Structures are given as C-alpha cells and as structure tokens.
Amino acid sequence: MAAKLEVAANHQSYTRSIPGIRTEGLRVSYAGQAVLKGITLEAHQGEILSIIGPAGAGKTTYLRCLNRMLDLDPDWKISGSVLLHDQPVYAREIPVATLRRKVGMVFSVPITLPMSIYENLTFGMTMTRNGRNDRAAKIERALRQAYLWDEVKDRMQEPAGNLSGGQQQRLCLARALTLEPAVLLLDEPCSGLDPISTRRIEEALQQLKDSLTIVLVTNNVKQAARASDRTAFFLFGELIEVQDTEILFTTPGKKETADYISGRFG
C-alpha cells in the first residue's frame, strides 16, 4: 500500500506560526447541491499543502473559493470563512483584483495570452502601480524561480505559443510570480506534462515555498507524496484527514484515506 510510494521524509520544517490562508466551516453548493461540507483547513507559509481525492471530491472548488473565482456565477452559494493572513477574503472592502494579485493561480492547462513571452509576463504588472523601472528585474527573477530563464532569455519577443507545453506552464507560473503573491494555488499543474517538465515544476515549488504559502491540488498521489509537506484528503466534499505527508502516506488514520492511497477506490 503506502509503503510502495516514495514519500519525501526530509522536507525542511515549515513555520506553522506564520499565518497563510485558511478556511473555517467552508460550505459551498451549486444549484442547491452541496459540493463542500464545512471544510476547516489551513495552509501555512513555508509549506506545500497538497489536496488529494477522487473526481468530484471538491478539490478544485475549494481552490477556487480561495481567490473568489466563483463570484460571477449566482448558482454558487458560499458560507463560512476564508481568511488570508487572518483577514476575511470575502469582505466587501477587499477588491477582487487586489486579492488575486496576492493569491496567484496556475491551472491544469497552460493558459498563455496570444502575445509575446515578454508581454505575457508584463500583462499583470501593467494593471498595478508598479513603475517600469523594476519590471526587468521582476521578470528575470520570476523566470529564474520558474526554472525558465535560460530557455527564454533570448526569445522574449517570440509568441508564447511557440513554447513547448512544459515551458508554457512554467511561463504561467512565472507570470503569477511577477506580481509577488503571498499565496500560490496550483490546480493539477503537471497533469499534461512529461516527467522532465513535472520535475522542473516540483523543483521550482520547493524553492518557492520558503517565502510563499503553496496549495497544490493533484490527482497524482505519487506527486503529493514526494512534493508536499502536508496532505489533505477530500472525499464527497468532506475533509477526511490532513496530516504531515509522511504520516498520511505511511500510516493514514482513516480507512477511506488508506483505501484511496492503495487504489482500492477512486
């Protein structure tokens, strides 16, 4: 069962005392059907929190609640609390655009803009008050953090669509990082990538976690086992268990978790 998975046991200890993003009693329904059933969960700065579970468990819905991506559809009903650094995310005085600069997101399919690589990276910055003087430094830093600088530094005026799938995904990661977020949300970021590109994304996340709160939704339990510090298991809209990753994958506390990890269902 879990013993067959490679579980990273040497993660650096993370600072649980530094608040990141958390939910308290988060309930979500769509057209009257419950999707999330009272989720209380926190991701800390300095760690990677993975969320695993079968299709329909509510993983992506949970992620989208954290930066208010469900706001525009009236069929979604949300109750409970989402707190970023102990401040309510759904407070009226917090502009959504400001929130999303603080809580960046990378999706399962790379979504590059029909522009050059350079314009993809500057697009978000043009909407902030940041001056042009430090853009070059921010772009280089973000590309280095995404392990992409050496591959694109001489191609910045090329269309982003010329990049490979793995490069496009790392460009999306770099684009989010140019805004210097406090939280990074990733929804199956490696689902369509080859093993080399997947490794580069995971290496980037390990370097980024010291200064960020990272929440990774993945259907790949092996990725969760090797890449995260803690892992939460969702099932039918409920949080079944959250543990340090090594503990959850070797001695899970719930039968449902053990069954999922071992492949007996899901």
Per-domain residue ranges of the chain: 2-8+17-262
Q: Please say if the pLDDT value at position 15 is more than 70.
A: no
Q: Measure the CA–CA gap between 39 and 253, rounded to whole angstroms.
A: 18
Classify 225 as helix, strand or coil.
helix
Joined tokens for residue 253: 């506390």
Nearest to 45 by CA among 189, 229, 169, 248: 229
Q: Measure the CA–CA gap between 184 and 253, rounded to whole angstroms.
A: 28
Joined tokens for residue 76: 């979604």
**Percent of the chain residues past pLDDT 90, beyond the cut:** 82
Amino acid letter, residue 200 = R
Joined tokens for residue 101: 């600069």
- pTM, to two decimals: 0.91
Distance set, CA 220 to CA 5, 52, 55, 128, 217 (Å):
11, 8, 12, 36, 9
Joined tokens for residue 37: 């059933």
- Indicate the pLDDT class of residue 51, thresholds 50, 70 and 90: very high
pLDDT of residue 7: 59
Nearest to 60 by CA among 201, 220, 188, 221: 188
Classify 163 as helix, strand or coil.
coil
Q: Convert the pLDDT of each residue in 119-149 to its tens digit.
A: 999 998 877 665 566 899 999 999 999 999 9
- Indicate the pLDDT class of residue 263, thresholds 50, 70 and 90: confident
pLDDT of residue 5: 59
Contacts of 250 (CB under 8 A, 6+ apart): 2, 3, 7
Q: Using only the alpha carbons of the chain, give its radius of gyration.
A: 18
- Indicate the pLDDT class of residue 1, thresholds 50, 70 and 90: very low
- Indicate the pLDDT class of residue 203, thresholds 50, 70 and 90: very high
CB under 8 A, 24+ apart: contacts of 93-100: 96/68, 96/71, 97/127, 99/67, 99/68, 100/67, 100/68
Q: Measure the CA–CA gap between 259 and 266, rounded to whole angstroms.
A: 9
Q: Please say if the pLDDT value at position 3 is more than 50.
A: no
| 124 or 170, greater pLDDT | 170
Q: Measure the CA–CA gap between 12 and 47, rounded to whole angstroms.
A: 9
Per mean pLDDT, which range of 87-96, 195-204, 246-255 is the poorest?
Answer: 87-96
Instruction: Count the Cβ atoms, other than its own, within 10 Å of residue 157.
Output: 9
Q: Assign a CATH topology to domain 2-8+17-262.
A: Rossmann fold (3.40.50)
